[in-house]
């Protein structure tokens, strides 16, 4: 499937911003199952300085500075991406999760060293005993790794309510778990934390998902969403992507921007600015299949 991805973000300020510095992750990365045909980001007002690079995790990252006074900042990202499904392991035929845990703990070279950084706490995902106990209900002794993870994925979708008013980007994971409410960022953090609490490697993935309108309803341009999901490492197969918000594997309807230890490593847009007063945010996302 080839997708054209459109993502427009606009900040409006109650007072002029005199200078601002920003970093963005808005360009999809090339993967074994994802080829980026083209990608560009347009910024208004035009930056005084701008540069792109690849971050520690291999994600595309852009820095820019605006030095002219402005009351509006607009970013428009357009990408054309080809995505195809990879070979997924049969969940029940993957190794027992305890064997995977032992292998990850013992392997300190090669692939194991690359995976190891996703075993431990990160700034936004710390160890919580209550989340470990929650995970253990799915990870019973001897159970196949991916089979257990898919059940955890399902339980999060069942036990937690999607509520965009319940949390902010700074809501602690402990509060999300207690309230049983949140958004995709929260549910991805929860599942990553649950897997890491058992000694398994999991990373936070940022990107887009194509949504489907209700039966009989017209598709509305801009109604898709930036999204977050989870990638679990399974020896012999590699990384397996799962979406606890929607209770499914994250495969062909998903476009990956990047990944890291948690949201803080791959936030789409963040910055530091002088002035601005109060601000409001507007955005639209469209993930449209291209007929070929």
Question: In this model, does residue 261 exceed pLDDT 90?
Answer: yes
What CA–CA distance (Å, rounded) separates 166 from 186?
10
Q: Which of 242, 158, 174 is nearest to 205 (CA)?
A: 242
What totals of helices (H) and strands (E) does the chain contain, helices first? 6, 14
- Report the CATH architecture of 2-83+267-289: Sandwich (2.60)
Hey, how many other C-beta atoms are within 10 angstroms of the C-beta on 54? 11
Convert 238-266 to b/e letters by CB count within 10 Å (16 or more is b): ebbbbbbbbebbbbebbbbbbbbbbbebb
Q: Which residues pair with 270 in a beta bridge?
A: 23
User: Packing angle between helix 184-197 and helix 145-159, nearest 10 degrees?
Assistant: 140
Minimum mean pLDDT range among 35-44, 111-120, 138-147: 111-120
271: exposed, middle or buried (Cβ count in 10 Å: 0-12, 13-18, 19+): middle
What CA–CA distance (Å, rounded) separates 174 from 136?
17
Mean pLDDT value of segment 18-33: 96
**CATH topology for the 91-260 domain:** C8orf32 fold (3.10.620)
CA dihedral 21→59→232→31, nearest 10 degrees, is: 150
Write down how long the chain is.
292
Q: Which of 86, 36, 58 is nearest to 240 (CA)?
A: 86
Residue 236 DSSP symbol: T
Q: Which of 227, 222, 179, 228 is nearest to 203 (CA)?
A: 228
What CA–CA distance (Å, rounded) separates 277 from 131?
38
Question: In this model, does residue 214 exceed pLDDT 70?
Answer: no
Chain region(s) in the chain for CATH 3.10.620.30: 91-260
Q: Which of 139, 233, 144, 226 is nearest to 185 (CA)?
A: 226
What CA–CA distance (Å, rounded) separates 278 from 15?
7
pLDDT digits (tens, 9 = 90+) for 269-289: 999 999 999 999 998 999 999
Q: What number of CA atoms fall less than 13 Å from residue 48's CA on the CB side?
A: 11
pLDDT digits (tens, 9 = 90+) for 152-180: 999 999 999 999 999 988 899 999 999 99
What CA–CA distance (Å, rounded) separates 232 from 229?
10
Chain region(s) in the chain for CATH 2.60.40.2250: 2-83+267-289
Residue 125 DSSP symbol: B
Q: Which residues pair with 273 in a beta bridge?
A: 20
What CA–CA distance (Å, rounded) separates 159 from 169?
21
Question: In this model, does residue 91 exceed pLDDT 90?
Answer: yes
Across 81-95, 203-217, 253-267, the highest mean pLDDT is recorded for 253-267
Percent of the chain whose pLDDT exceeds 90: 84
């Amino acid at each position: 499937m080839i997708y054209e991805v459109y993502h427009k973000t606009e900040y409006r300020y109650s007072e002029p911003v005199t200078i601002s510095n920003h970093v963005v992750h808005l360009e999809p990365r090339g993967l074994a199952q994802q080829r980026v045909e083209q990608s560009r980001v347009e910024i208004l007002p035009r930056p005084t300085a701008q540069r792109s690079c690849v971050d520690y995790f291999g994600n595309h990252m852009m820095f820019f500075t605006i030095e002219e006074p402005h009351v509006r900042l607009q970013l428009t990202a357009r990408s054309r991406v080809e995505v195809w499904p990879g070979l997924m392991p049969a969940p029940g035929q993957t190794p027992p999760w305890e064997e995977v845990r032992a292998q990850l703990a013992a392997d300190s070279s090669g692939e194991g060293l690359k995976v190891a950084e996703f075993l431990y706490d990160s700034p936004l995902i710390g160890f919580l005993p209550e989340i470990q106990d929650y995970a253990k209900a799915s990870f019973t002794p001897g159970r196949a790794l991916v089979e257990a993870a898919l059940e955890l994925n399902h339980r999060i979708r069942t036990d937690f309510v999607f509520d965009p008013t319940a949390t902010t980007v700074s809501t602690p994971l402990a509060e999300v778990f207690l309230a049983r409410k949140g958004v995709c960022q929260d549910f991805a953090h929860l599942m990553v934390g649950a897997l890491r609490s058992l000694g398994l490697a999991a990373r936070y993935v940022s990107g887009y998902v194509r949504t489907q309108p209700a039966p009989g309803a017209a598709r509305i341009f801009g109604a898709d969403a930036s999204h977050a999901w989870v990638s679990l490492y399974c020896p012999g197969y590699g990384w397996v992507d799962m979406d606890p918000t929607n209770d499914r594997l994250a495969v062909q309807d998903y476009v990956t921007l990047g990944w890291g230890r948690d949201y803080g490593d791959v936030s789409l847009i963040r910055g530091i600015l002088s002035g601005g007063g109060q601000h409001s945010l507007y955005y639209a996302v469209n993930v449209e299949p291209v007929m070929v």
